Structure 1
Amino acid sequence: MPSEFIIAVHAMAYLRKHPRLISSEELAENICVNPVRVRKVMAKLKAYGLIDTKQGLSGGYSFSIQNETVTLSQIYDALQMRIFHSNWRSGNAHLKCIVSSGMAQVMDDLYETMEATCYEKLKAISICDVVKELEQLYALKENTNERR
């Protein structure tokens, strides 16, 4: 899975959980990546309308859609990427070998199927779902720590 998607989901969950302006430095520290990588991803989310930005010293990012309908598929669309894709192809379509001549097409078809299946799953998961799951994991972790 491309790291930009992971950065974007993490950032969106953080923005949803903390409803205020958040700097790229704060996001980067929480995500554990360089602020430049965060800014590149956030620019795509901004262009798609998923976040708002404010320029300047007191600027930052904020969640722009104040409801529970932002889905992971919207983030995926904003990033204009593919999860299942390879530029490299094995085999050679011109060889007289059934495996070598057809493997690239078989893998391309498989990637398309996996991409469509994954996209349907992403449509069913909202950022609020991600935040709820994070809250449950955190509560479970806290309960485990209290028992020790």
Structure 2
Amino acid sequence: MNSEFTIAVHSLTLLAYKPEHMATSDMIAHNVCTHPARVRKVMALLRKQGYVGAKEGIGGGFILKCEPDQVTLGEIYQLTSLGSVKPGWCSGDIEQECMVACNMASVMEGIFMNAERQMIEYFNQWTILDVLIQVRKEQQSKT
């Protein structure tokens, strides 16, 4: 899984926490603990899909344009990370005569696809609002 998923979920949760306020990429990056350029890349993707709006210039930033209880982590995973469970390299070679070697790549691809499908099903049980609620519970347990 790539970090864009985590950045997207964190950013959407932050915007849901203060839904009436705009947040700059610098503000979000400071909260996420990453570089503003990485945040801008993810926010551009979220903006293109209608999850956030943006205003450029002085007083600008990003604002939530979706209902936090309607956006699932599964949606965000599919937007930012689909296919990332499968490694870039899989053992085996279809040119070899060995039964294991010539079939391993396709077998492993099926396993990874199934794992990703199950992970998306699990993520679909969580919304951005659910994440915000969990963050608030964490905070309350510390006070």
Tell me the TM-score range normalised by the shorter chain. over 0.9
Q: How many residue pairs align between the two structures?
A: 142
Query: Which sits farther off after the overlay, 103-112 or 60-69?
Result: 60-69
- Do 1:84 and 1:111's aligned partners in 2 also have CA atoms closer than 8 Å? yes
- The DSSP-based 3-state class of the residue aligned with 2:58 is coil
Are 1:90 and 1:100, in contact at CA under 8 Å, matched by a contact in 2? yes
Mapped to 1, the partners of 2:98 and 2:120 lie a distance apart of: 34
Query: Counterpart of 1:71 in structure 2: which amino acid?
Result: T
Compute the displacement of 1:98 (Å). Answer: 2.2
Moved more, 57-66 or 125-134: 57-66
Q: Distance in 1 between matches of 2:49 and 2:59?
A: 23
Matched to 2:69, the amino acid is E
Stretches of 4+ aligned residues off by more than 3 angstroms: none
Paired residues for 1:1-148 under 5 Å:
1-19=1-19, 20-79=21-80, 81-142=82-143
8 Å Cα contact 2:2-2:81 kept in structure 1: no
Kept in 2, the 8 Å contact 1:45–1:51? The answer is: yes
Identity of aligned residues (%): 34
TM-score, normalised with respect to structure 1 = 0.90
TM-score by length of 2: 0.93
Instruction: Write the letter of the residue equivalent to 1:125.
Output: W
Q: Which string of whole-angstrom CA distances, capped at 9 and with x for unpartnered residues, describes residues 108-146 of structure 1?
A: 00011011111111211100000011111111122xxxx
AA paired with 1:73?
Answer: G
Q: Structure 1 stretch 49-58 or stretch 88-97: which is displaced more?
A: 88-97
- Residue 92 of structure 2 contacts residue 105 of structure 2 at CA under 8 Å; is this kept in 1? yes
Can you list the C-alpha shifts for 1:23-55, whole angstroms capped at 9, x where unaligned? 000000000000000000000000000111111
Contact 1:45 1:79 in 2 (8 A): no
Structure 1 runs not aligned, ≥5 long: 143-148
2:3 is matched by which residue type in structure 1?
S
Residue type matched to 1:3 in 2? S
Contact residue 23 and residue 62 of structure 2 kept, 8 A: yes
